[in-house]
Amino acid sequence: MEKEQIIGRTISFVKEQLAGAEGGHDWWHVHRVYQLSKEIAAVEGGNLFVIELGALLHDVADSKFHQGDETKGPAMARDFLSSLSIGNSIISQVIFIIENISYKGGYSSLLQKPLELQIVQDADRLDATGAIGIARTFNYGGYKNREMYNPSIPPDLNLTREAYKNSKAPTIDHFYEKLLKLKDLMNTQEGKRRAQQRHEFMELYLEQFYKEWNSEI
Ligand code: ADP
Ligand code: NI
């Protein structure tokens, strides 16, 4: 099968899998990560086919939406890719991206990440920042019926991996527990460059939020 045809089939598969997903983790999130990955790859290099497939499949069966099961997504992606008779080396590289992309409180034992993982991870993190990151975060908080903000529940900057996954804290806390940390966790130069302005926008947003909350303006 031609690469283009494989990408087309993968897009259809992912759209099907994510139908009805929460608005911050739906096909449009994948679409943005896919586009961003290609933009970053144009500057940084890497195997574009692996990057494209990794970006498209990175959130299939997210463990958050499958009772914390972290094996389901990679297994589904492997079955799907095998059904398209793609070479084993490509499949392994794509599965490696899916298994290692997640933030999970910033905990990762990987010292050396392949460039393809670095790029898709940067793209996924960029989509967690800036105006879109803010929108996704409040959408997720609403989906989980969380408080938007509670001045008496401060953020916990040192959450363990388990505590991060199980956190029920107000949505504003998530900015400090994850979003504002992402700028310094970007892997690639192009990722860092793109993260800077998005980061500043979130800081401005928070300043305005507190001013309004405290009736200062
Ligand atoms: P990762 O898998 O890299 O940990 P997630 O899928 O958990 O990333 O997070 C993706 C986005 O979902 C976050 O950037 C945020 O917008 C939203 N989100 C996840 N967890 C929370 C949370 N506890 N509170 C608010 N938003 C969240
Ligand atoms: Ni994602």
Residue 181 CB coordination number (10 Å): 16
Q: pLDDT tens, position by position, for the chain (217 residues)?
A: 899 999 999 999 999 999 989 999 999 999 999 999 999 999 999 999 999 999 999 999 676 666 677 888 888 999 999 999 899 999 999 999 999 998 765 667 677 899 999 999 999 999 999 999 999 999 999 999 999 999 999 998 888 888 888 888 999 999 999 999 999 999 999 999 999 999 999 999 999 999 999 999 9
Chain position carrying tokens 């803010």: 134
* Best probe residue, ligand 1, of 137, 162, 166, 177 (max atoms within 8 Å of C-beta): 137
Q: Given this model, what pLDDT does residue 34 score?
A: 98
Ligand 2 geometric centre to CA of 215 (Å): 35
Give CA–CA dist 94/154, Å, rounded.
38
Give CA–CA dist 82/72, Å, rounded.
15
Ligand 1 geometric centre to CA of 137 (Å): 7
Q: Given this model, what pLDDT does residue 1 score?
A: 85
Q: Given this model, what pLDDT does residue 166 score?
A: 82
101-118 burial: b if 16+ Cβ within 10 Å, else e: bbbebeeeeeeebbbbbb
The atom number, within ligand 1, closest to the CA of 164 reads 23
Domain residues of the chain, as ranges? 3-213
Q: Given this model, what pLDDT does residue 65 score?
A: 64
Q: Given this model, what pLDDT does residue 173 score?
A: 96
The atom number, within ligand 1, closest to the CA of 127 reads 14
Dig out the tokens for 155 from the structure.
């953020």
* Best probe residue, ligand 1, of 32, 166, 174 (max atoms within 8 Å of C-beta): 174
Angular region, 26: left φ>0, alpha ψ -120 to 50, beta rest: beta
For 3-213, CATH gives 1.10.3210.50
**DSSP for the chain?**
--HHHHHHHHHHHHHHHTTT--TTSSHHHHHHHHHHHHHHHHHH---HHHHHHHHHHTTTT-GGGTTT-SSHHHHHHHHHHHHTT--HHHHHHHHHHHHH---GGG----SS--HHHHHHHHHHHHTTSHHHHHHHHHHHHHHTT--S--TTS---TT--HHHHHH----HHHHHHHTGGGGGGG--SHHHHHHHHHHHHHHHHHHHHHHHHHTT--
Contact 22, 65 (CB under 8 A): yes
